[in-house]
Amino acid sequence: MSQRIALITGASGGLGQAVARKLAAGGWSLLLVSRQADRLAEAYGADHLQIEADCSTVDGARQIFEHANVHGRIPTHLAHCVGNIRLGALHRMKEADWHACLDANLGSAFHTLAAFVGNLREARLPGAAVLVSSAAARIGTPNHEAVSAAKAGLEGLVRAAAATYAANAIRINAVAPGIMDTPATTHLLNNAALREVTARQYPLPGIGDPNELAELMAWLLSDQAARVTGQVWSLDGGFSTVRPLVK
Ligand SMILES: NC(=O)c1ccc[n+]([C@@H]2O[C@H](COP(=O)([O-])OP(=O)(O)OC[C@H]3O[C@@H](n4cnc5c(N)ncnc54)[C@H](OP(=O)(O)O)[C@@H]3O)[C@@H](O)[C@H]2O)c1
Q: Is 108 in the pocket of ligand 1 (CB under 6 A)?
A: yes
Which residue's CA is minimally distant from atom 29 of ligand 1?
104
The pLDDT value given to residue 244 = 73
Within 8 A by CB and 6+ apart from 84, the residues are 100, 101, 104, 105, 184
In the sheet that holds 127-132, the strands lie side by side as 49-52, 29-34, 5-9, 77-80, 127-132, 170-177, 232-235
Which residue's CA is minimally distant from atom 43 of ligand 1?
13
Q: Is 107 in the pocket of ligand 1 (CB under 6 A)?
A: no
Amino acid at 157: L
pLDDT over 70 at 205, yes or no: yes
Which residue's CA is minimally distant from atom 6 of ligand 1?
134
Burial of 73 (0-12, 13-18, 19+ CB in 10 A): middle
Q: What is the pLDDT of residues 122-164, one digit of tens each?
A: 999 999 999 999 999 999 999 999 999 999 999 999 999 999 9
CA nearest 147: which of 236, 80, 86, 81? 86
* Domain definitions of the chain by residue range: 5-235
Q: What is the pLDDT of residues 9-64, one digit of tens each?
A: 999 999 999 999 999 999 999 999 999 999 999 999 999 999 999 999 999 999 99
Give me the architecture of the 5-235 domain, per CATH: 3-Layer(aba) Sandwich (3.40)
Which residue's CA is minimally distant from atom 3 of ligand 1?
179
Closest atom of ligand 1 to CA, residue 100: 31
Testing ligand 1's pocket by substitution, the residue of 7, 9, 32, 84 carrying the most ligand atoms inside 8 A of its CB is 84
Amino acid at 92: R
Q: pTM (2 decimals)?
A: 0.98
Q: Do residues 78 and 116 touch, judged by C-beta distance below 8 A?
A: yes
Q: Is 211 in the pocket of ligand 1 (CB under 6 A)?
A: no
| Predicted confidence band of residue 2 (pLDDT cuts 50, 70, 90) | low
Closest atom of ligand 1 to CA, residue 104: 31
Q: Is 181 in the pocket of ligand 1 (CB under 6 A)?
A: no
Q: Do residues 104 and 84 touch, judged by C-beta distance below 8 A?
A: yes
The pLDDT value given to residue 246 = 74
Whole-number Å distance, alpha carbon 183 to ligand 1 midpoint, is 8
Count, in order, helices (H) and strands (E) of the chain. Answer: 8, 7
Q: Cα separation of 89 and 161, whole Å?
A: 31
